[in-house]
Structure 1
Amino acid sequence: MTIETLFHADAYAREAEAKVLSATAEGVWLDRSIFYAQSGGQPGDTGTLRWAGGEMAVANTVKGEAGAILLKPAEGATLPPEGAAVTMLLDWPRRHRLMRMHTAMHLLCSLIPGAGVTGGQIGLEKSRLDFDLPEPPTKEALTEGLRALVAANHPVSTSWVDEAELDANPGLVRTLSVKPPRGAGVVRLVRIGEGEAPVDLQPCGGTHVRATGEIGTVTVTKLENKGKQNRRVYLVVED
């Protein structure tokens, strides 16, 4: 069964209705989801499920078999009945912070063109990207570049393209350690900026803000040497 990924259609949806397909110790599987499942370095969403006579705290969201998005119940939580109509309530402040972080990481990629991304992790307090290059720009130069891109308030949009189009433009894929999900025939692209030369354009299934100005103050705090050609860059965004 295909799950309706509401977070792809609208990353700002904080509440929506759904139907419980199954509820086991493994997790709760709904027919649609505003909760993003942990993947690509972005943590899974948290929040609450409510139904007639009960509610369940969602401690994490992960991917299951056959395209399922599994909502992990908090320890000791009551599970909803199978077939029940539920209301999904997203922990919005947490998600929005992750969206700001994730979009800032795309901007960081744009400042180091041509270097493959060998790893990354999006966090609430700090995030990091690893680049395959001998020497990155200084943290001061990267911070200045990021803040200029944020101040320009570039629009952020998404589109879907055929896998064949992605194959014809392999340079769109920046990540060396994680490849875009394939098999559905289409791949989701995230574009920052407009025109023929956007600030950033690459496959990504995560959630992002609508414009770079929403990121707020961003700072590159640390650079680390993690190997002969591996440079780790840490960044933070302020509340």
Structure 2
Amino acid sequence: MTRVTFASGSAAETARVLHVLPEAVITDVTPFHPVDHTWPDQPGDTGTLSGSAVHNTVMAARGEEGTWHLGSSIPVKRGTEGWEWAVAHVLDAAPVVTEGDAVQLEVDTERRDALSAGHTACHLASLALDAALAEFWSKETRSDPLGNPDFESAANQTSFIELDGAADEYRMGKSLRKKGVDVAGIVEALPTIADAVNAQLADWVAADAPVRIEAEGDTITDMRRWVCDLPEGSASLPCGGTHVTSTGQLGAVTVTLDAPDPQTLVMRTSVSRDR
């Protein structure tokens, strides 16, 4: 397996080439964050591999048949037993390295920082949205890390991390109404809800709360968790992405809420960092 160091904030490593594929290179260690084929929320890192441009980083896996599958072509879930897992650096041109070569891996840190800010802001926004929607639940349900009804887990359909931002889509159909959610009330109160979310986000950014990644190991399939020590308590969520180290680094975080139809809620999160 590839040993990964991005969870600790690393952006450069000297590595040894393990496998050379027609379009990608697999190394024994990498600071590059790959897009997850099962939940592709954060894009893969870009950068260079000994001067060659890396335009994407993806998960790689091979089973007993010995064929490497990359990214969305992987036919099994991440960590499936009997499969070998790695990180593949997808190059702009055919690889010019060979197995056993030492290579220098360098991440585009400007892009990484923007994605990290977007990902941390995305988690904060989801927690703030859960809190703002608590009054719209009439039945008991599972709680989020801060003790509010977990709207995020119950309704989120897609999440995409952008440079200094994120886009989340929530499905508010029959199943959510059966759980006791006043869907119509949420749609009617969107401006007030957005104000409450943005006020909470402003407080959390001002608190300059520490953020860290806790990893069970250093392989790409090991569980990693995002942890943020907010004034209300420590929030912990499973997460394989990259993040800033404190909420104060975000500068300002704001969201907009829109309901393009009665059963869909879209939240867009934006970060305005001090450069």
TM-score, structure 1 normalization: 0.78
Residues 1:68 and 2:86 are matched in the alignment: yes
Equivalent pair of 2:122/2:165 in contact (CA under 8 Å)? no
Corresponding residue of 1:205: 240
How far did residue 144 of structure 1 move?
A: 2.1
Corresponding residue of 2:167: 128
Cα distance in 2, alignment partners of residues 218 and 87 from structure 1: 35
Gaps of 5+ in 1: 162-183
Equivalent pair of 2:204/2:230 in contact (CA under 8 Å)? no
Cα distance in 2, alignment partners of residues 226 and 3 from structure 1: 42
Q: Percent identity, aligned pairs only?
A: 31
CA 1:106–1:125 in structure 2 vs 1: closer, same or farther (change >3 Å)?
closer
Corresponding residue of 2:65: none
Cα distance in 2, alignment partners of residues 85 and 69 from structure 1: 16
Residues 1:28 and 2:25 are matched in the alignment: yes
**Based on CA coordinates, which of the two structures has the bigger radius of gyration?**
2
Measured on the aligned residues, the alpha-carbon RMSD in Å equals: 2.4
Cα distance in 1, alignment partners of residues 264 and 104 from structure 2: 44
Corresponding residue of 1:174: none
Residues 1:98 and 2:119 are matched in the alignment: no
Partner amino acid for 2:115?
Answer: L
Corresponding residue of 2:225: 189
Equivalent pair of 1:118/1:131 in contact (CA under 8 Å)? yes
Cα distance in 1, alignment partners of residues 226 and 236 from structure 2: 6
How far did residue 125 of structure 1 move?
A: 5.5
Equivalent pair of 1:190/1:204 in contact (CA under 8 Å)? yes
Cα distance in 2, alignment partners of residues 160 and 59 from structure 1: 26
Aligned residues: 207
Gaps of 5+ in 2: 62-83, 131-149, 173-182
1:172-214 deviations in Å (ceiling 9; x for gaps): xxxxxxxxxxxx6x6322111169932x321111111111111
Corresponding residue of 1:172: none
Equivalent pair of 2:23/2:95 in contact (CA under 8 Å)? no
Cα distance in 2, alignment partners of residues 151 and 38 from structure 1: 31
Cα distance in 1, alignment partners of residues 241 and 207 from structure 2: 22
CA 1:152–1:194 in structure 2 vs 1: closer, same or farther (change >3 Å)?
closer
Equivalent pair of 1:18/1:32 in contact (CA under 8 Å)? yes
TM-score, structure 2 normalization: 0.68
Equivalent pair of 1:28/1:79 in contact (CA under 8 Å)? no
CA 1:42–1:195 in structure 2 vs 1: closer, same or farther (change >3 Å)?
same
Cα distance in 1, alignment partners of residues 19 and 215 from structure 2: 30
1:84 pairs with one of 101, 104, 119? 101
Equivalent pair of 1:24/1:79 in contact (CA under 8 Å)? no
Corresponding residue of 1:216: 251
Equivalent pair of 1:129/1:234 in contact (CA under 8 Å)? yes
